[in-house]
Amino acid sequence: PTFDVDAGFQTGPVQVGITHADPTATIRFTVDHSEPTVFQGTPYTAPIAVSGNTAIRAIACTPAECSPTVTHTYLYMADVIGQGTPASLPTMWGDAPADYEMDPEITGDPLYGALMVSALEGLPSMAITIDDFDFWDAAQGIYIQSTRRGEDWHRAISLEWIDAANAEYFQVNAGMHVSGGASRTQTRSPKHSLRLLFKAEYGPSNLDWDFFGPGAVEEFDTLHLRGQYNSSWIHWTVGNRNRAQYVRDEWARRTQLAMGHPSAHGRWTHVYINGLYWGVYNLHERPDAGFTSRYLGGTKADWDALNSGEPTDGDTVAWDELLRRARLDQSDAVNYASTLEMLDLANFVDYLILNQWMGNTDWDLKNWYAARRRLPDAKWYFFSWDAESTLKDSVNENNLAYLNIGDPTEIHTALMANPEYRLFYADRIHRHVNLGVFAPVAAEDSFMDLAADLDPGIIAESARWGDYRRDVLVDPSDTSGGALYTRQDWYDEQIRLQTEWFPDRRDVLVDQYRVAGLYPLVDPVNIAPRPARLIPGSLVGMGFDSFNGTAWYTTDGTDPRLPGGAVSPTATAFASPVIITGTTELKVRFQHTDGTWSAVTDGLYMVDQPFDGLVITEIMYNPDGSGAEFLELYNSGAGPLDLTGLSLVDGVEYAFPDFTVLPAGGYIVLARDAVEFEGDYGFPPDGEYSGKLDNGGERIAIADESGVVWEEVTYEDDLPWPVEADGDGFSLELLTPTDDVADPANWQASWVDGGTPGAPTSTQPIGGDADTDTDADSDTDTDADTDSDADADSDTDSDADTDADADADADTDTD
């Protein structure tokens, strides 16, 4: 069925007409949230009058079949702002009183009331429509029986995305269940988290939508709507309510991304359930096997994924093996090396530092995700999850001694027996805590920028839930009589963080690390200027305690200290500034006269050069079912290009390894899945990007570290672009490397099945028959010279209320 009035916010009464392409079809509709069927619903005979919040659900049936249900939700600002308690809905949610009202003290406040419309328009909206029985029934309703788990408690819904500011809308049929841990309990939280499911039994098996922007995938089989529990206005303790920000968990995941590791992307949205405003939710990905396969390659079946030690996908065989190895004596070099064979060390240590800097008090007995691809040399990755109990009461929070058996801290504690681990840990502390994302200004700026994104919606959240513990389910421990929480309370907590946490946390934590033996007593070397793109001949100086030791440095990316503590034979004692004549990876450590080594200070210096000759020449964006995605780049210039500092920044993400040199006339091939690519073409790609090329077309861009875009193309899957490249096994090929890549006329579908990665553009064979050989010139050398001294690990950073254990929303669902 087709509706003639767009869904979303309306400014007045409308008459909604419904049609179908088949004039013989019978249309039935409902406005009571139930799904229409061939036997249920009102036969459509005339336009439907709508003047208040209404969800119209329609179906078209012929004698042969019925269409999927189509739902349109119509919203009115007056109804949302004036939302009261519907007489037809339950007055109790289990053993807790129900709460539907938008508090009139907020909506009628001279300041906040005047901003209410802009608050509701300031974020996009998700409208969920679900049968009232499935949601509210005392015995079978998922919101009333919120602690129930398993597939029996999944329900069919309609989901609509309404983003008027960007003229975006979609409607999809999906599944949903209540999610969370302690927050499922009605007396603890009235605002439950929800998990969205995209399965064939409900509608499409994947949702295709660009929610999260550059670097994020656009295809999902599940998404999470986090209601926020710890450090929120609905929490049952006043200490948590006073710390409400709704930013902490999203900030943690974005910070892990900024540290150079995969993590779940997210954003905020208003949520409506059957036309009722339900508050601000954090919409984000879930780092399960579907997530890792999309970002790190393979299929869902290729991955083991754990939620707090329990498998969401696969099994625990490899995890148990990692624990077995870690439980051996890690001071032994052989045992230590064996453990690192299964552990991505940079990811693991950075994950720990993230939770330690935040002072996470609800971790790691729960609230962690990890995943590993089922390959012989694969390693475990860790992902931030449910970081709500962070940045709370005291800047002196110290969780460094956490030790939970079977969890990440057990592995960490065991590895601390090895001095190489402790120094590597110090290196990562210096990189991120002293110089990177956790440096005082950087941490504060990133947090406040994120808070600014949420700011437009926080007034609406205050109206919906800010009075809950005062007016609905009173907190008897709050001797003040309860508070009506407002945006000013939200601002006050930000001021506390800006004055008490961000300025001091670095120094406090470094001291804690030193006491724990994870950071040397000697200070690292300062280098100036900091790493950047410089003119050839620039000088880099070093500052250190020259009276008590020596600064040893290398310029080839190797460590000036050898394992065990000796000075590397390639290291030089600093005596005069280092001259930068080309790409230089500087690494420097201070060695005290007593033999103690500092954390490493490293930096990548590049020299100015134009990248005009760098061209995107081939795009395999939608291979056939068994094919591998890839991108091909070509150097059309007269001399070599040092790609250090360049990245794919749109569509998909990839940071070129340091010292990647592309000779004149040479190719680089990047694939989504290196294993799959090598299986198809017989040679490995030069790199593996994260994300997935959009089958419908998107922008691909290459930028330097300053954000200057040197090459970009926006391809499409329909005319005037070659449509044969859309799903039939052929790639998009640029006819000539000097052609304008923005002109579709300069592109062709490859003449050979599988395209020609790492080789010149294919030509029409004599007679016009396409070559179906899928080897695609697999003996071709792609010519990209990646210096073996470049950093080989997967790190691409190219940088109190104590009721947490019982009260945290741990989201331990495994279904």
Residue 658 confidence (pLDDT):
84
How is 45-102 classified by DSSP, letter by letter? -SPEEE-SSEEEEEEEE-SS-BPPPEEEEEE-HHHHHT----TTS-SEETTEE---PP
Q: For the residues 563-575, what does the mean pLDDT come to? A: 98
What residues pair up with 42 in beta bridges, in sequence order?
Answer: 29
Distance of CA 255 to the CA centre of its chain: 10
Q: For the residues 614-633, what does the mean pLDDT come to? A: 91
Enter the tokens of residue 524: 């690292």
Least confident interval from 100-109, 169-178, 657-666: 657-666
- What burial letters (b/e) apply to 231-244, b meaning 16+ CB within 10 Å? bbbbbbbbebbbbb
Q: For the residues 310-336, what does the mean pLDDT come to? A: 98
Query: Of the ranges 276-290, 476-490, 798-812, which is most confident?
Result: 276-290
Q: For the residues 443-469, what does the mean pLDDT come to? A: 98
- What burial letters (b/e) apply to 621-648, b meaning 16+ CB within 10 Å? bbbeeebbbbbbbbbbbeebbbbbbbbb
Q: Are 732 and 721 in contact (CB under 8 A)?
A: yes
Q: Are 620 and 755 in contact (CB under 8 A)?
A: yes
Q: Which amino acid is at 129?
A: T
Enter the tokens of residue 28: 């039935």
What's the rounded Cα separation, in Å, for the pair 323 and 339? 9
Q: At what angle do helices 505-516 and 419-429 cross, to 10 degrees?
A: 170
DSSP-derived letter for residue 557 is S
pLDDT tier at 12 (50, 70, 90 boundaries)? Answer: very high
| Residue pointed to by tokens 């009333």 | 144
Burial of 513 (0-12, 13-18, 19+ CB in 10 A): buried
Q: Would you say how long the chain is, in residues?
A: 815
DSSP-derived letter for residue 776 is -
Give the gyration radius of the chain's Cα atoms. Answer: 29
Q: Are 126 and 160 in contact (CB under 8 A)?
A: yes
pLDDT tier at 214 (50, 70, 90 boundaries)? Answer: confident
pTM of structure: 0.85
What's the rounded Cα separation, in Å, for the pair 99 and 695? 44
Residue 419 confidence (pLDDT):
98
**Average predicted confidence (pLDDT) for the chain:** 92
* Helices (runs of H) and strands (runs of E) counted in the chain: 17, 45
Residue 583 confidence (pLDDT):
86
Q: Are 173 and 68 in contact (CB under 8 A)?
A: yes
Helix (H) or strand (E) holding 492: helix 487-496
Three-class SS state of 308? coil
- 614-786 is a CATH 2.60.40.1260 domain: yes
Class of domain 526-607: mainly beta
DSSP-derived letter for residue 665 is T
β pairing state of 310-313 and 303-307: antiparallel
Contacts 24+ apart (CB under 8 A), 147-155: 147/184, 147/185, 148/178, 149/177, 149/813, 149/815, 150/815, 151/815, 153/177, 153/178, 154/197, 154/815, 155/130, 155/131
Percent of the chain with pLDDT over 90: 85
Q: For the residues 246-257, what does the mean pLDDT come to? A: 98
Residue 626 confidence (pLDDT):
59
SS3 content of the chain, % helix, strand, coil (to 5): 25, 25, 50
Q: Could you report the per-residue pLDDT of 388-407, keeping only the tens digit for each?
A: 999 999 999 999 999 999 99
Whether the link from the prior residue into 789 is cis, omega within 30° of 0, is no
At residue 723, what are phi and psi to the nearest 5 degrees?
-75, -15
Q: For the residues 54-66, what does the mean pLDDT come to? A: 97
pLDDT tier at 765 (50, 70, 90 boundaries)? Answer: low
Q: For the residues 313-320, what does the mean pLDDT come to? A: 98
Considering the domain delimited by 1-75, tell me its CATH architecture: Sandwich (2.60)
Judge whether residue 185 has pLDDT over 60: yes
Least confident interval from 2-16, 515-529, 697-711, 753-767: 753-767
Judge whether residue 480 has pLDDT over 80: no
What's the rounded Cα separation, in Å, for the pair 551 and 542? 8
Helix (H) or strand (E) holding 419: helix 419-429
Q: At what angle do helices 408-415 and 345-357 cross, to 10 degrees?
A: 110
> Considering Cα of 443, then 446, then 448, then 451, what sign does the dihedral take?
negative
Percent of the chain with pLDDT over 70: 93
Q: Could you report the per-residue pLDDT of 66-119, keeping only the tens digit for each?
A: 999 999 999 999 999 999 999 999 999 999 999 999 999 999 999 999 999 999
Residue 650 confidence (pLDDT):
83
Three-class SS state of 405? coil
Judge whether residue 317 has pLDDT over 50: yes
Q: For the residues 778-795, what does the mean pLDDT come to? A: 36
